[in-house]
Amino acid sequence: MRTGIATVCLSGTLKEKMQACAIAGFDGIEIFEQDLVTSPLSPEDVRKMAADLGLGLDLYQPFRDFDGVTPDLLKANLRRAEAKFKLMSRLGMDTILVCSNVATATIDDDALRADQLAELAQLAGDHGIKVAYEALAWGKYVNDYEHAYRLVEAVDHPNLGTCLDSFHILSRDWDTAPIENINPEKIFFVQVADAPKLSMDVLSWSRHYRVFPGEGQFELAKFMGHVVRAGYTGPVSLEVFNDVFRQSDVDRTAVDAMRSLIWLEEQSANWLADAPAAGTVPGGGAPRRRYPMELATLPKVNEPAGFNFAEVKADDTAQLEKLLGQLGFAFEGRHRTKDVQLWTMGQARVIINEQAASHAEPAIAALGFDVDSPVIASARAQQLKAPVVARKVQAHEEVFQGIAAPDSTEIFLCQGSPDGTAAWTHEFGEGLQHPSAGARAVIDHVNLAQPWQHFDEAVLFYTSALALEPQPFAEVPSPSGLVRSQVMQTSDGAVRLVLNLAPVQQAHGQKTYQEHIAFAVDDLVSTARAARDKGLEFLQIPANYYEDLDARFDLDPGFLATLQELNLLFDRDADGEFLHFYTATVGSVFFEMVERRGRYDGYGAPNAPVRHAVQYDSLHRT
Amino acid sequence: MRTGIATVCLSGTLKEKMQACAIAGFDGIEIFEQDLVTSPLSPEDVRKMAADLGLGLDLYQPFRDFDGVTPDLLKANLRRAEAKFKLMSRLGMDTILVCSNVATATIDDDALRADQLAELAQLAGDHGIKVAYEALAWGKYVNDYEHAYRLVEAVDHPNLGTCLDSFHILSRDWDTAPIENINPEKIFFVQVADAPKLSMDVLSWSRHYRVFPGEGQFELAKFMGHVVRAGYTGPVSLEVFNDVFRQSDVDRTAVDAMRSLIWLEEQSANWLADAPAAGTVPGGGAPRRRYPMELATLPKVNEPAGFNFAEVKADDTAQLEKLLGQLGFAFEGRHRTKDVQLWTMGQARVIINEQAASHAEPAIAALGFDVDSPVIASARAQQLKAPVVARKVQAHEEVFQGIAAPDSTEIFLCQGSPDGTAAWTHEFGEGLQHPSAGARAVIDHVNLAQPWQHFDEAVLFYTSALALEPQPFAEVPSPSGLVRSQVMQTSDGAVRLVLNLAPVQQAHGQKTYQEHIAFAVDDLVSTARAARDKGLEFLQIPANYYEDLDARFDLDPGFLATLQELNLLFDRDADGEFLHFYTATVGSVFFEMVERRGRYDGYGAPNAPVRHAVQYDSLHRT
Say how many CA atoms lie within 13 Å of A144 toward its Cβ.
Answer: 9
pLDDT at A138: 96
Cα–Cα distance list, B66 to A554, A572, B99, B111, B131 (Å): 16, 19, 8, 15, 12
The predicted model gives A45-59 an average pLDDT of: 98
Residues in chain A closer than 8 A to B505 (CB atoms): 247
Number of A/B CB contacts below 8 angstroms equals: 175
Quick one: A2-274 is in which CATH superfamily?
Answer: Divalent-metal-dependent TIM barrel enzymes (3.20.20.150)
The predicted model gives A312-321 an average pLDDT of: 95
pLDDT at B87: 98
Looking at CA atoms only, how far is residue B332 from chain A in angstroms? Answer: 38
Q: Give Cα B2 to chain centroid, integer Å.
A: 22
Secondary structure letter of residue B91 according to DSSP: H
Q: Tens of pLDDT along A512-566?
A: 578 999 999 999 999 999 999 999 999 999 999 999 999 999 999 999 999 999 9
Q: Is B616 on the interface with A (CB under 8 A)?
A: yes
- What residue spans define the domains of chain A? 2-274, 306-621
Q: Is A480 on the interface with B (CB under 8 A)?
A: yes
The predicted model gives A248-255 an average pLDDT of: 95
**Domain topology for B306-621:** 2,3-Dihydroxybiphenyl 1,2-Dioxygenase; domain 1 (3.10.180)
Contact B548 A37 (CB under 8 A): yes
CA distance B581 to B538: 7
| DSSP helix/strand/coil, B192 | strand
Q: What is the arrangement of strands in the sheet containing B348-353, beginning at the earlier edge strand?
A: B330-334, B340-345, B348-353, B306-313, B363-371, B410-415, B401-404, B388-389
CA distance A473 to A492: 18
CA distance A212 to A227: 18
pLDDT at A507: 39
The secondary structure of chain B in percent helix, strand, coil, rounded to multiples of 5, reads 35, 25, 35
The predicted model gives A308-320 an average pLDDT of: 95
CA distance A399 to A141: 61
Contact A40 B617 (CB under 8 A): yes
Q: Is A509 on the interface with B (CB under 8 A)?
A: no
The secondary structure of chain A in percent helix, strand, coil, rounded to multiples of 5, reads 35, 25, 35
CA A540-A546-A548 angle, 5° bins: 130
Cα–Cα distance list, B392 to A432, B106, B401, B416 (Å): 77, 69, 11, 21
Say how many CA atoms lie within 13 Å of B22 toward its Cβ.
Answer: 15
Q: Give A423's pLDDT tier (boundaries 50, 70, 90).
A: confident
- Helix (H), strand (E) at residue A238: strand A235-238
Contact B42 A544 (CB under 8 A): yes
Give which of B104, B247, B511 to mutate to test A binding, by max A Cβ within 10 Å.
Answer: B247
Residues in chain B closer than 8 A to A40 (CB atoms): 540, 542, 614, 617
CA distance B411 to B377: 11
Interface of B with A in 456-475 (CB under 8 A): 475
Backbone CA torsion sign across B300, B302, B303, B304: negative
CA distance A574 to B555: 70
pLDDT at B429: 81
Interface of B with A in 77-106 (CB under 8 A): 79-80, 83-84, 87
Cβ partners under 8 Å of residue A218, min gap 6: A166, A167, A170, A193, A194, A195
* Phi, psi (deg, nearest 5) at residue A25: 100, 15
Q: Give A355's pLDDT tier (boundaries 50, 70, 90).
A: confident
Q: Tens of pLDDT along A125-148?
A: 999 999 999 999 999 999 999 999
Looking at CA atoms only, how far is residue B89 from chain A in angstroms? Answer: 14
Q: A87 vs A514, which has greater pLDDT?
A: A87
Q: Which residues of chain B have pLDDT under 70?
A: 277-289, 392-396, 431-438, 504-512, 621-622
Q: Is B393 on the interface with A (CB under 8 A)?
A: no
Q: What is the arrangement of strands in the sheet containing A410-415, beginning at the earlier edge strand?
A: A330-334, A340-345, A348-353, A306-313, A363-371, A410-415, A401-404, A388-389
pLDDT at B508: 43
Q: Tens of pLDDT along A565-610?
A: 999 999 999 999 999 999 999 999 999 999 999 999 999 999 999 9
Q: Is B554 on the interface with A (CB under 8 A)?
A: yes
Mean pLDDT, chain A, whole residue set: 92
Q: Which of B208, B479, B552 sits opposite A12 (nearest CB)?
A: B479
Q: Peptide bond before A287: cis, by omega within 30 degrees of 0?
A: no
Q: Which of B38, B80, B200 sits opposite A552 (nearest CB)?
A: B80
Residues in chain A closer than 8 A to B612 (CB atoms): 38
- What is the secondary structure of A122-189 as a DSSP string? HHHHHTT-EEEEE--TT-SS--SHHHHHHHHHHH--TTEEEEEEHHHHHTTT--SGGGGGS-GGGEEE
Q: Is B246 on the interface with A (CB under 8 A)?
A: yes
Q: A247 vs A257, which has greater pLDDT?
A: A257
**B-chain residue closest to A75, CA distance:** B554
Cβ partners under 8 Å of residue A477, min gap 6: A483, A609, A612, B8, B34, B246
* Phi, psi (deg, nearest 5) at residue B212: -75, 155
**A-chain residue closest to B542, CA distance:** A40
Q: Look at residue A252 and tell me whether its pLDDT is greater than 70.
A: yes
Q: Is B544 on the interface with A (CB under 8 A)?
A: yes
Contact B40 A540 (CB under 8 A): yes
Q: Is B248 on the interface with A (CB under 8 A)?
A: yes
Amino acid at A491: S
Torsion-angle region of A583 (φ positive above 0: left; ψ -120 to 50: alpha; else: beta): beta
Contact A246 B503 (CB under 8 A): yes
Looking at CA atoms only, how far is residue A204 from chain B in angstroms? Answer: 9
CA distance A265 to A246: 24
Q: Is B42 on the interface with A (CB under 8 A)?
A: yes
CA distance A353 to A339: 6
Residues in chain B closer than 8 A to A572 (CB atoms): none
Q: Look at residue A282 and tell me whether its pLDDT is greater than 80.
A: no
Give which of A14, A38, A454 to mutate to test B binding, by max B Cβ within 10 Å.
Answer: A38
- What is the secondary structure of B473-503 as a DSSP string? PEEEEETTEEEEEEEEE-TTSSSEEEEEE--
**A-chain residue closest to B621, CA distance:** A13
- What is the secondary structure of B335-368 as a DSSP string? BSSSSEEEEEETTEEEEEE--PPTTPPPEEEEEE
Q: Is A503 on the interface with B (CB under 8 A)?
A: yes
Give which of A506, A544, A564, A573 to mutate to test B binding, by max B Cβ within 10 Å.
Answer: A544
Q: Which ipTM score applies to this complex?
A: 0.91
Q: B463 vs A511, which has greater pLDDT?
A: B463
pLDDT at B279: 54
The predicted model gives A410-434 an average pLDDT of: 79
Contact A506 B247 (CB under 8 A): yes
Percentage of the residues of chain A whose pLDDT score is greater than 70: 94
Q: Look at residue A404 and tell me whether its pLDDT is greater than 90.
A: yes
Q: Which of B84, B475, B477 sits opposite A551 (nearest CB)?
A: B84
pLDDT at A54: 96
**B-chain residue closest to A33, CA distance:** B548
pLDDT at A222: 97
Cα–Cα distance list, B382 to A122, B372, B407 (Å): 67, 17, 17
Residues in chain B closer than 8 A to A16 (CB atoms): 479
Cβ partners under 8 Å of residue B191, min gap 6: B6, B30, B134, B163, B164, B165, B166, B167, B237, B238, B239
